[in-house]
């Protein structure tokens, strides 16, 4: 292959996004919309869905949306069926609905823990399970939106850590089961993404945002577009041999762990002769 038009590869495809009414998920939809894809979405609140559909249309897409709570299998199935009726068989099925709040394990009730497991993990199962019937097969792909919490045990995130680790394992399992049926399954782990509800909840102060930026090797937040570009790639023919991958798109944020440069290490680095840096 000498050249490849990634944007054109999405033209005319039907992309369904669960949780697509805001944030990263809507940002993914806008990237596909700008490439000429058809985009359908669902989330709980009809007014937010309607506003997002207008945003997607303004970005160039034929767009459709319906209200559904991903915790409710019948609602998920009905909205996927309606999306297929509106825009045709689904080429790219994206599961991104999620809930989060900051609380220590001892500060969350069993119902609080269950709520996030139900939205993130069971919701992802419901979207994948119900969505399979409405996919264009072979050739469709499933993409789950995971989080760094799947890889590291963040304090005060017991519910999200457990849910997103489950999302990753579910995605890999579906890759094994659906590969022979011609459906690829991958997950994206966004790092800290600017202007999102998730980061507003996790890093509400400038001091916390600074910490998150500096803990990221590339020293900045990512953008919603950058997550959309990864989804565009995973859904494209360029990724036809990629399934079961968990792709961090995070400026390296999941890497540092205890190896992160502390102030003492930064000072040692500054003092080192340039040839040793």
Which residues of the shown chain bind ligand HXC in the complex (CB under 6 A)? Answer: 98-101, 103, 107-109, 111-112, 115-116, 147-148, 160, 192, 197-198, 201-202
Per CB under 6 A, contacts with ligand NAP among 7-36 are 19, 21-25
3-state secondary structure at position 10? helix
How many chain residues interact with ligand NAP (CB under 6 A)? 28
Helices 73-87 and 123-131 cross at an angle (nearest 10°) of 40
Burial of residue 256, with CB atoms counted within 10 A of its CB: 0-12 exposed, 13-18 middle, 19 or more buried: middle
Interacting stretch for ligand NAP, rule CB under 6 A, among 95-103, 132-140, 175-183, 241-249?
A: 95-103
- Does 145 interact with ligand NAP (rule: CB under 6 A)? yes
Q: How far is the CB of 17 from ligand NAP (least distance, A)?
A: 9
Find which of ligand NAP, ligand HXC, none residue 124 binds, CB within 5 to 8 Å per kind: none
Question: Position of tokens 């989060």?
Answer: 100
82 alpha carbon, distance to own chain's centre: 23
Question: Position of tokens 């993914």?
Answer: 28
Q: How far is the CB of 208 from ligand HXC (least distance, A)?
A: 12
The residue (of 99 and 236) whose beta carbon lies closer to ligand NAP is 99
- Does 98 interact with ligand NAP (rule: CB under 6 A)? yes
- Does 119 interact with ligand NAP (rule: CB under 6 A)? yes
Using CA atoms in the order 5, 8, 13, 15, what is the torsion angle rounded to 10 degrees? 80
Helices 23-34 and 224-235 cross at an angle (nearest 10°) of 60
The residue (of 25 and 171) whose beta carbon lies closer to ligand NAP is 25
């Amino acid at each position: 292959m000498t050249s490849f038009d990634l944007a054109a590869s999405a033209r005319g495809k039907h992309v369904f996004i669960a949780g697509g009414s805001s944030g990263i998920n809507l940002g993914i939809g806008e990237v596909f919309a700008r490439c000429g894809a058809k985009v359908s979405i669902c989330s709980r609140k009809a007014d937010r869905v309607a506003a997002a559909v207008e945003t997607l249309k303004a970005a160039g897409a034929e767009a459709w949306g319906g209200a559904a709570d991903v915790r409710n299998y019948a609602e998920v199935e009905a909205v996927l069926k309606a999306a297929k009726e509106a825009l045709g068989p689904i080429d790219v099925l994206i599961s991104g609905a999620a809930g989060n709040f900051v609380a220590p394990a001892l500060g969350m009730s069993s119902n609080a823990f269950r709520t996030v497991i139900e939205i993130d993990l069971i919701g992802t199962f419901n979207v994948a399970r119900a969505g399979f019937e409405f996919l264009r097969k072979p050739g469709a792909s499933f993409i789950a939106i995971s989080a760094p919490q799947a890889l590291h045990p963040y304090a005060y995130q017991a519910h999200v850590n457990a849910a997103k680790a489950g999302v990753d394992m579910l995605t890999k399992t579906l890759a094994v089961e659906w590969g022979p049926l011609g459906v690829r399954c991958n997950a994206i782990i966004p790092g800290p993404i600017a202007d999102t509800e998730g980061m507003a909840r996790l890093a509400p102060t400038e001091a916390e945002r600074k910490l998150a930026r500096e803990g990221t090797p590339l020293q900045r937040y990512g953008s919603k577009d950058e997550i959309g570009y990864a989804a565009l790639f995973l859904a494209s023919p360029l990724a036809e041999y990629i399934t079961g991958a968990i792709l961090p798109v995070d400026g390296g944020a999941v890497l540092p762990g205890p190896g992160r440069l502390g102030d003492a290490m930064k000072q040692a680095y500054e003092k080192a002769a340039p040839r040793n840096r």
